[in-house]
Amino acid sequence: MLPNSITRLHNLQTLKLHQCPITKLPSDFTKLVSLRLLEINTTFSLTNIPRELKQMTGIQDLSLICIRMNSGSRFKRNSGLKELHELRALKQIPSFTALVNFRLEDYNKCQHLPPLGQFPHLKGLYLIKLDSLEYMSEIDCSKELSNSSFIPSLKRIELSCCPNLKGWWRQTRDSLEEDDDNSHLLPIFPGLSDLEIENCPKLTSIPLFPNVKRLTLDMCSLKPLKQTSTLQIEIANSSFAPLSKLEYLEIGTLKEPLPNLSNLVSLCCRGPPPQGMQHFTTLEKMTIAYSMEVDLSNFWDAVEWQGLKSLEITSCPNLISLPEGMGGLTSLHRLHIWCCPKLKSLPEWIQGLTSLNTLEIGACPILLERCNRETGEDWPKIAHIPNLLEVWYLRRGYKSATNQLR
Protein backbone atom coordinates (compact mmCIF):
# COMPACT_ATOMS: atom_id res chain seq x y z
CA MET A 1 0.00 0.00 0.00
CA LEU A 2 1.15 3.51 -0.78
CA PRO A 3 1.76 5.24 2.58
CA ASN A 4 -0.60 8.04 3.54
CA SER A 5 2.40 10.15 4.47
CA ILE A 6 3.07 10.76 0.79
CA THR A 7 0.11 13.15 0.74
CA ARG A 8 2.14 15.56 2.88
CA LEU A 9 4.45 16.25 -0.06
CA HIS A 10 2.50 19.27 -1.19
CA ASN A 11 5.20 20.36 -3.63
CA LEU A 12 5.49 16.95 -5.33
CA GLN A 13 5.16 17.37 -9.10
CA THR A 14 6.08 13.91 -10.47
CA LEU A 15 4.87 10.52 -9.20
CA LYS A 16 5.67 7.26 -11.01
CA LEU A 17 4.24 4.06 -9.56
CA HIS A 18 6.05 1.29 -11.44
CA GLN A 19 5.66 -2.33 -10.33
CA CYS A 20 4.62 -1.19 -6.87
CA PRO A 21 2.72 -3.72 -4.67
CA ILE A 22 -0.23 -1.40 -4.10
CA THR A 23 -3.94 -2.14 -4.17
CA LYS A 24 -5.27 1.35 -3.57
CA LEU A 25 -4.31 5.01 -3.52
CA PRO A 26 -4.47 6.99 -0.27
CA SER A 27 -7.83 8.59 0.43
CA ASP A 28 -6.10 11.98 0.76
CA PHE A 29 -4.32 11.59 -2.56
CA THR A 30 -5.90 14.80 -3.83
CA LYS A 31 -3.79 16.78 -1.33
CA LEU A 32 -0.92 16.47 -3.82
CA VAL A 33 -2.00 19.78 -5.26
CA SER A 34 1.24 20.39 -7.18
CA LEU A 35 1.19 17.04 -9.01
CA ARG A 36 1.69 17.45 -12.75
CA LEU A 37 2.82 13.98 -13.90
CA LEU A 38 1.18 10.72 -12.75
CA GLU A 39 2.16 7.27 -14.02
CA ILE A 40 0.43 4.13 -12.73
CA ASN A 41 2.09 0.96 -14.03
CA THR A 42 1.35 -2.04 -11.87
CA THR A 43 0.80 -5.81 -11.99
CA PHE A 44 -1.41 -5.65 -8.91
CA SER A 45 -5.17 -5.13 -8.70
CA LEU A 46 -5.84 -1.50 -7.95
CA THR A 47 -9.07 -1.95 -6.05
CA ASN A 48 -9.58 1.62 -4.87
CA ILE A 49 -9.33 4.65 -7.11
CA PRO A 50 -10.51 7.72 -5.19
CA ARG A 51 -13.47 9.42 -6.83
CA GLU A 52 -11.87 12.69 -5.80
CA LEU A 53 -9.08 12.05 -8.28
CA LYS A 54 -11.08 14.04 -10.81
CA GLN A 55 -10.46 17.14 -8.68
CA MET A 56 -6.75 17.05 -9.56
CA THR A 57 -7.19 19.22 -12.60
CA GLY A 58 -3.56 20.33 -12.61
CA ILE A 59 -2.27 16.96 -13.87
CA GLN A 60 -0.70 17.44 -17.29
CA ASP A 61 0.89 14.04 -18.00
CA LEU A 62 -1.19 10.94 -17.27
CA SER A 63 -0.12 7.34 -17.99
CA LEU A 64 -2.34 4.38 -17.08
CA ILE A 65 -0.65 1.07 -17.85
CA CYS A 66 -1.95 -2.33 -16.81
CA ILE A 67 0.50 -5.27 -16.82
CA ARG A 68 -1.34 -8.53 -16.17
CA MET A 69 0.04 -11.69 -14.64
CA ASN A 70 -0.96 -15.02 -13.14
CA SER A 71 0.72 -17.95 -11.46
CA GLY A 72 1.35 -19.86 -14.68
CA SER A 73 3.07 -17.16 -16.68
CA ARG A 74 4.68 -13.82 -16.10
CA PHE A 75 2.03 -11.86 -17.96
CA LYS A 76 -1.59 -12.61 -18.69
CA ARG A 77 -4.24 -10.34 -20.14
CA ASN A 78 -7.27 -11.94 -18.47
CA SER A 79 -6.44 -10.96 -14.89
CA GLY A 80 -5.21 -7.83 -13.16
CA LEU A 81 -7.11 -4.57 -12.75
CA LYS A 82 -10.76 -5.13 -11.98
CA GLU A 83 -13.07 -4.16 -14.81
CA LEU A 84 -15.08 -1.79 -12.61
CA HIS A 85 -12.02 0.18 -11.58
CA GLU A 86 -10.64 0.31 -15.11
CA LEU A 87 -13.86 2.00 -16.19
CA ARG A 88 -13.90 4.31 -13.15
CA ALA A 89 -10.40 5.51 -13.96
CA LEU A 90 -11.35 6.17 -17.57
CA LYS A 91 -14.49 8.08 -16.59
CA GLN A 92 -12.43 10.44 -14.46
CA ILE A 93 -10.09 11.37 -17.30
CA PRO A 94 -12.26 14.21 -18.70
CA SER A 95 -11.69 16.09 -15.43
CA PHE A 96 -8.00 16.52 -16.23
CA THR A 97 -8.54 19.52 -18.48
CA ALA A 98 -4.87 20.55 -18.25
CA LEU A 99 -3.67 17.29 -19.83
CA VAL A 100 -0.69 17.71 -22.16
CA ASN A 101 0.20 14.03 -22.61
CA PHE A 102 -2.06 11.01 -22.18
CA ARG A 103 -0.98 7.36 -22.35
CA LEU A 104 -3.31 4.38 -22.00
CA GLU A 105 -1.89 0.88 -22.29
CA ASP A 106 -3.25 -2.66 -21.90
CA TYR A 107 -6.78 -1.80 -20.79
CA ASN A 108 -8.74 -4.68 -22.32
CA LYS A 109 -12.26 -3.43 -21.66
CA CYS A 110 -11.77 0.03 -23.11
CA GLN A 111 -14.11 0.30 -26.13
CA HIS A 112 -13.93 4.06 -26.61
CA LEU A 113 -12.27 7.09 -25.04
CA PRO A 114 -13.57 10.24 -23.41
CA PRO A 115 -14.07 13.09 -25.92
CA LEU A 116 -10.51 14.17 -26.60
CA GLY A 117 -11.68 17.54 -27.86
CA GLN A 118 -12.20 18.49 -24.20
CA PHE A 119 -8.43 18.76 -23.67
CA PRO A 120 -7.38 22.13 -25.16
CA HIS A 121 -3.70 21.63 -24.28
CA LEU A 122 -3.27 18.00 -25.37
CA LYS A 123 -0.02 17.51 -27.31
CA GLY A 124 0.70 13.78 -27.04
CA LEU A 125 -1.70 10.81 -27.30
CA TYR A 126 -0.41 7.24 -26.84
CA LEU A 127 -2.82 4.29 -27.12
CA ILE A 128 -1.19 0.86 -26.87
CA LYS A 129 -2.54 -2.70 -26.55
CA LEU A 130 -6.22 -1.80 -26.31
CA ASP A 131 -7.79 -5.00 -27.64
CA SER A 132 -11.44 -3.91 -27.34
CA LEU A 133 -11.07 -0.38 -28.66
CA GLU A 134 -13.14 0.01 -31.86
CA TYR A 135 -13.69 3.77 -32.06
CA MET A 136 -12.08 6.67 -30.27
CA SER A 137 -15.37 8.41 -29.61
CA GLU A 138 -19.01 7.39 -29.32
CA ILE A 139 -20.14 10.99 -29.74
CA ASP A 140 -21.58 11.99 -33.09
CA CYS A 141 -18.90 13.64 -35.21
CA SER A 142 -21.06 16.70 -35.92
CA LYS A 143 -21.57 17.30 -32.18
CA GLU A 144 -17.88 17.01 -31.29
CA LEU A 145 -16.59 19.21 -34.10
CA SER A 146 -17.27 22.92 -34.41
CA ASN A 147 -15.20 23.24 -37.61
CA SER A 148 -12.89 21.21 -39.83
CA SER A 149 -9.94 21.66 -37.45
CA PHE A 150 -9.71 19.04 -34.68
CA ILE A 151 -7.57 19.22 -31.48
CA PRO A 152 -5.24 21.91 -32.88
CA SER A 153 -2.80 21.49 -29.96
CA LEU A 154 -2.06 17.83 -30.77
CA LYS A 155 1.54 17.25 -31.97
CA ARG A 156 2.11 13.50 -31.64
CA ILE A 157 -0.08 10.36 -31.86
CA GLU A 158 1.00 6.77 -31.31
CA LEU A 159 -1.52 3.99 -32.04
CA SER A 160 -0.07 0.54 -31.50
CA CYS A 161 -1.48 -2.98 -31.17
CA CYS A 162 -5.16 -2.01 -31.30
CA PRO A 163 -6.38 -4.90 -33.48
CA ASN A 164 -10.06 -3.90 -33.54
CA LEU A 165 -9.71 -0.14 -33.92
CA LYS A 166 -11.71 0.90 -36.99
CA GLY A 167 -12.03 4.67 -36.89
CA TRP A 168 -12.19 7.83 -34.83
CA TRP A 169 -15.98 8.23 -34.84
CA ARG A 170 -18.41 5.36 -35.32
CA GLN A 171 -20.90 7.58 -37.14
CA THR A 172 -18.24 9.04 -39.42
CA ARG A 173 -16.91 5.68 -40.49
CA ASP A 174 -20.36 4.23 -41.17
CA SER A 175 -21.34 7.20 -43.31
CA LEU A 176 -18.09 7.23 -45.27
CA GLU A 177 -17.76 3.53 -46.01
CA GLU A 178 -19.84 3.86 -49.17
CA ASP A 179 -17.66 6.59 -50.66
CA ASP A 180 -13.93 6.23 -51.22
CA ASP A 181 -13.53 9.87 -52.23
CA ASN A 182 -14.45 11.29 -48.83
CA SER A 183 -11.39 13.20 -47.68
CA HIS A 184 -13.27 16.50 -47.91
CA LEU A 185 -15.70 15.25 -45.23
CA LEU A 186 -13.06 14.43 -42.64
CA PRO A 187 -11.68 16.91 -40.09
CA ILE A 188 -7.98 17.83 -39.98
CA PHE A 189 -5.27 17.66 -37.33
CA PRO A 190 -3.73 21.08 -38.13
CA GLY A 191 -0.75 20.83 -35.76
CA LEU A 192 0.06 17.12 -35.89
CA SER A 193 3.73 16.63 -36.80
CA ASP A 194 4.44 13.04 -35.67
CA LEU A 195 2.11 10.08 -36.33
CA GLU A 196 2.78 6.39 -35.64
CA ILE A 197 0.32 3.60 -36.53
CA GLU A 198 1.43 0.03 -35.97
CA ASN A 199 -0.53 -3.23 -35.90
CA CYS A 200 -3.94 -1.60 -36.34
CA PRO A 201 -5.09 -3.54 -39.42
CA LYS A 202 -8.74 -2.42 -39.33
CA LEU A 203 -8.13 1.31 -38.95
CA THR A 204 -9.40 3.08 -42.06
CA SER A 205 -10.67 6.47 -40.90
CA ILE A 206 -9.01 9.14 -38.76
CA PRO A 207 -8.76 12.93 -39.05
CA LEU A 208 -6.40 13.91 -41.84
CA PHE A 209 -2.79 14.93 -41.16
CA PRO A 210 -1.56 17.19 -43.98
CA ASN A 211 1.20 18.87 -41.92
CA VAL A 212 2.86 15.76 -40.50
CA LYS A 213 6.68 15.71 -40.58
CA ARG A 214 7.38 12.18 -39.30
CA LEU A 215 5.21 9.19 -40.16
CA THR A 216 5.47 5.51 -39.15
CA LEU A 217 3.19 2.87 -40.69
CA ASP A 218 3.29 -0.90 -40.12
CA MET A 219 0.62 -3.59 -40.48
CA CYS A 220 -2.10 -1.06 -41.18
CA SER A 221 -4.25 0.24 -43.99
CA LEU A 222 -2.92 3.04 -46.18
CA LYS A 223 -6.38 4.53 -46.63
CA PRO A 224 -5.83 7.42 -44.15
CA LEU A 225 -2.54 8.26 -45.90
CA LYS A 226 -4.15 8.20 -49.34
CA GLN A 227 -7.07 10.33 -48.14
CA THR A 228 -4.66 12.88 -46.74
CA SER A 229 -2.50 12.91 -49.89
CA THR A 230 -5.49 13.78 -52.10
CA LEU A 231 -6.81 16.52 -49.83
CA GLN A 232 -7.28 19.94 -51.39
CA ILE A 233 -6.25 22.68 -48.95
CA GLU A 234 -6.77 26.37 -49.43
CA ILE A 235 -5.51 29.01 -47.01
CA ALA A 236 -5.78 32.75 -47.62
CA ASN A 237 -6.74 32.26 -51.28
CA SER A 238 -3.69 30.07 -51.87
CA SER A 239 -3.29 26.33 -51.84
CA PHE A 240 -0.53 24.01 -50.67
CA ALA A 241 0.04 20.33 -51.21
CA PRO A 242 -0.80 18.02 -48.29
CA LEU A 243 2.16 16.09 -46.86
CA SER A 244 4.53 18.67 -48.35
CA LYS A 245 6.20 18.91 -44.91
CA LEU A 246 6.76 15.15 -44.60
CA GLU A 247 10.48 14.58 -44.10
CA TYR A 248 10.74 11.10 -42.58
CA LEU A 249 8.71 7.98 -43.39
CA GLU A 250 9.20 4.63 -41.64
CA ILE A 251 7.30 1.66 -43.00
CA GLY A 252 6.98 -1.99 -42.05
CA THR A 253 4.72 -4.64 -43.54
CA LEU A 254 2.32 -3.01 -45.99
CA LYS A 255 0.04 -4.73 -48.51
CA GLU A 256 -0.73 -1.65 -50.62
CA PRO A 257 1.48 0.55 -52.83
CA LEU A 258 2.46 3.89 -51.38
CA PRO A 259 1.06 7.12 -52.87
CA ASN A 260 3.42 9.61 -54.44
CA LEU A 261 5.21 11.62 -51.74
CA SER A 262 7.03 14.26 -53.71
CA ASN A 263 8.92 15.96 -50.86
CA LEU A 264 10.10 12.98 -48.84
CA VAL A 265 13.73 13.27 -47.70
CA SER A 266 14.31 10.25 -45.42
CA LEU A 267 12.85 6.73 -45.73
CA CYS A 268 13.23 3.67 -43.49
CA CYS A 269 11.93 0.26 -44.60
CA ARG A 270 11.57 -2.39 -41.90
CA GLY A 271 11.22 -5.37 -44.18
CA PRO A 272 11.12 -5.68 -47.97
CA PRO A 273 10.57 -2.34 -49.75
CA PRO A 274 6.90 -2.03 -50.83
CA GLN A 275 5.61 -0.91 -54.19
CA GLY A 276 5.34 2.76 -55.05
CA MET A 277 8.70 3.90 -53.69
CA GLN A 278 10.69 4.02 -56.91
CA HIS A 279 9.56 7.53 -57.80
CA PHE A 280 10.48 9.30 -54.54
CA THR A 281 12.94 11.48 -56.41
CA THR A 282 13.67 13.82 -53.48
CA LEU A 283 15.06 11.10 -51.22
CA GLU A 284 18.41 11.87 -49.61
CA LYS A 285 18.60 9.13 -46.96
CA MET A 286 17.29 5.56 -46.98
CA THR A 287 17.47 2.62 -44.58
CA ILE A 288 16.54 -1.01 -45.31
CA ALA A 289 16.36 -3.05 -42.10
CA TYR A 290 15.11 -6.45 -40.95
CA SER A 291 14.38 -7.74 -44.44
CA MET A 292 14.49 -11.49 -45.01
CA GLU A 293 14.91 -11.06 -48.77
CA VAL A 294 17.85 -12.79 -50.45
CA ASP A 295 17.82 -10.54 -53.50
CA LEU A 296 16.73 -6.88 -53.74
CA SER A 297 17.31 -6.58 -57.50
CA ASN A 298 13.62 -6.40 -58.44
CA PHE A 299 13.29 -3.30 -56.34
CA TRP A 300 16.48 -1.45 -57.24
CA ASP A 301 16.37 -1.89 -61.00
CA ALA A 302 13.73 0.83 -61.40
CA VAL A 303 14.88 3.43 -58.87
CA GLU A 304 15.16 7.08 -59.82
CA TRP A 305 16.95 8.36 -56.71
CA GLN A 306 19.72 10.37 -58.26
CA GLY A 307 19.88 12.58 -55.15
CA LEU A 308 20.29 9.76 -52.59
CA LYS A 309 23.26 10.60 -50.36
CA SER A 310 23.09 8.06 -47.53
CA LEU A 311 22.10 4.37 -47.65
CA GLU A 312 21.95 1.97 -44.70
CA ILE A 313 21.36 -1.78 -45.07
CA THR A 314 21.04 -3.38 -41.64
CA SER A 315 19.96 -6.74 -40.20
CA CYS A 316 19.27 -8.48 -43.50
CA PRO A 317 20.40 -12.00 -42.59
CA ASN A 318 19.70 -13.63 -45.98
CA LEU A 319 21.14 -10.96 -48.27
CA ILE A 320 23.91 -12.50 -50.37
CA SER A 321 24.76 -9.65 -52.74
CA LEU A 322 24.14 -5.96 -53.39
CA PRO A 323 21.90 -5.42 -56.45
CA GLU A 324 23.31 -4.02 -59.68
CA GLY A 325 20.75 -1.19 -59.63
CA MET A 326 22.59 0.44 -56.74
CA GLY A 327 25.44 1.18 -59.13
CA GLY A 328 23.40 4.10 -60.48
CA LEU A 329 23.40 5.96 -57.15
CA THR A 330 26.01 8.41 -58.35
CA SER A 331 25.33 10.96 -55.58
CA LEU A 332 25.81 8.47 -52.74
CA HIS A 333 28.14 9.84 -50.03
CA ARG A 334 27.72 7.23 -47.31
CA LEU A 335 27.07 3.46 -47.38
CA HIS A 336 26.45 1.64 -44.09
CA ILE A 337 26.21 -2.18 -44.03
CA TRP A 338 25.44 -3.86 -40.71
CA CYS A 339 24.62 -7.44 -39.70
CA CYS A 340 24.39 -9.05 -43.13
CA PRO A 341 26.37 -12.23 -42.34
CA LYS A 342 25.78 -13.92 -45.72
CA LEU A 343 26.99 -10.95 -47.76
CA LYS A 344 30.05 -12.46 -49.41
CA SER A 345 31.62 -9.63 -51.36
CA LEU A 346 31.31 -6.09 -52.68
CA PRO A 347 30.36 -5.64 -56.35
CA GLU A 348 32.68 -4.23 -58.99
CA TRP A 349 30.38 -1.28 -59.59
CA ILE A 350 31.20 0.21 -56.17
CA GLN A 351 34.34 1.63 -57.78
CA GLY A 352 32.09 3.79 -59.96
CA LEU A 353 30.48 5.55 -56.99
CA THR A 354 32.85 8.49 -57.21
CA SER A 355 30.97 10.56 -54.61
CA LEU A 356 31.19 7.84 -51.96
CA ASN A 357 33.43 9.08 -49.15
CA THR A 358 32.32 6.87 -46.22
CA LEU A 359 31.87 3.10 -46.10
CA GLU A 360 30.86 1.54 -42.76
CA ILE A 361 30.74 -2.23 -42.25
CA GLY A 362 29.89 -4.18 -39.08
CA ALA A 363 28.81 -7.68 -38.06
CA CYS A 364 29.54 -9.01 -41.56
CA PRO A 365 32.42 -11.45 -40.90
CA ILE A 366 32.88 -12.70 -44.47
CA LEU A 367 32.76 -9.21 -45.96
CA LEU A 368 35.07 -7.72 -43.35
CA GLU A 369 37.66 -10.37 -44.08
CA ARG A 370 37.56 -9.53 -47.79
CA CYS A 371 37.92 -5.80 -47.01
CA ASN A 372 41.13 -6.10 -44.98
CA ARG A 373 43.49 -3.28 -45.81
CA GLU A 374 45.98 -4.21 -48.55
CA THR A 375 45.39 -7.98 -48.21
CA GLY A 376 41.63 -8.44 -48.66
CA GLU A 377 40.23 -9.57 -52.02
CA ASP A 378 37.85 -6.59 -52.12
CA TRP A 379 40.41 -4.04 -50.99
CA PRO A 380 41.16 -2.79 -54.55
CA LYS A 381 37.46 -1.99 -54.97
CA ILE A 382 37.31 0.32 -51.92
CA ALA A 383 40.85 1.66 -51.54
CA HIS A 384 39.80 4.99 -53.09
CA ILE A 385 37.14 5.66 -50.41
CA PRO A 386 38.49 8.21 -47.85
CA ASN A 387 36.67 6.89 -44.75
CA LEU A 388 36.60 3.11 -44.31
CA LEU A 389 35.15 2.19 -40.92
CA GLU A 390 34.26 -0.93 -38.97
CA VAL A 391 31.41 -0.32 -36.54
CA TRP A 392 30.20 -2.01 -33.36
CA TYR A 393 27.01 -1.64 -31.36
CA LEU A 394 26.56 -2.30 -27.67
CA ARG A 395 22.80 -2.61 -28.12
CA ARG A 396 20.26 -1.78 -30.76
CA GLY A 397 20.31 1.87 -31.71
CA TYR A 398 23.54 2.79 -29.91
CA LYS A 399 26.77 2.97 -31.84
CA SER A 400 29.61 2.15 -29.45
CA ALA A 401 32.76 2.47 -31.56
CA THR A 402 34.21 2.95 -35.00
CA ASN A 403 37.63 2.09 -36.29
CA GLN A 404 39.47 2.16 -39.57
CA LEU A 405 39.24 -1.09 -41.48
CA ARG A 406 42.35 -3.11 -40.78
* pLDDT tens digits, 193-231: 999 999 999 999 999 999 999 999 999 999 999 999 988
pLDDT of amino acid 201: 97
φ, ψ of residue 266 in degrees (nearest 5): -130, 135
The band of 296, judged by pLDDT with boundaries at 50, 70 and 90, is confident
Query: Where do the DSSP E strands lie in 22-118?
Result: 37-42, 61-66, 101-105
Lowest mean pLDDT among 351-355, 385-389, 393-397, 401-405: 393-397
* pTM > 0.85: yes
pLDDT of amino acid 97: 86
pLDDT of amino acid 178: 46
Q: 186 or 283: whose pLDDT is higher? A: 283
Lowest mean pLDDT among 63-67, 304-308, 326-330: 63-67
Distance of alpha carbon 136 from alpha carbon 116, whole angstroms = 8
Using left for φ > 0, alpha for ψ between -120 and 50, and beta otherwise, residue 87 falls in: alpha
Q: 293 or 379: whose pLDDT is higher? A: 379
Mean pLDDT of the chain, nearest integer: 83
Lowest mean pLDDT among 32-36, 90-94, 174-178: 174-178
pLDDT of amino acid 124: 97
pLDDT of amino acid 255: 85
Q: 45 or 202: whose pLDDT is higher? A: 202
pLDDT of amino acid 21: 73
- The one-letter amino acid code at 191 reads G
Local structure of 305: helix, strand or coil: coil
Q: For residue range 72-109, what is the model confidence (pLDDT) as tens digits?
A: 333 333 333 345 555 566 777 878 889 999 999 988 88
Q: 23 or 362: whose pLDDT is higher? A: 362
The most confident of the ranges 87-91, 289-293, 304-308, 351-355 is 351-355
Q: Do 382 and 346 touch, CB atoms closer than 8 A?
A: yes
pLDDT of amino acid 47: 60
pLDDT of amino acid 331: 94
| Cα separations in angstroms, 405 against 213, 368, 371 | 37, 8, 7
CA 364 to chain centre: 28
CA 276 to chain centre: 21
- For the cut 50, the answer to whether the pLDDT of residue 382 exceeds it is yes
pLDDT over 70 percentage in the chain: 80
| Rg for the chain, CA atoms, rounded | 25
Q: Do 376 and 345 touch, CB atoms closer than 8 A?
A: no
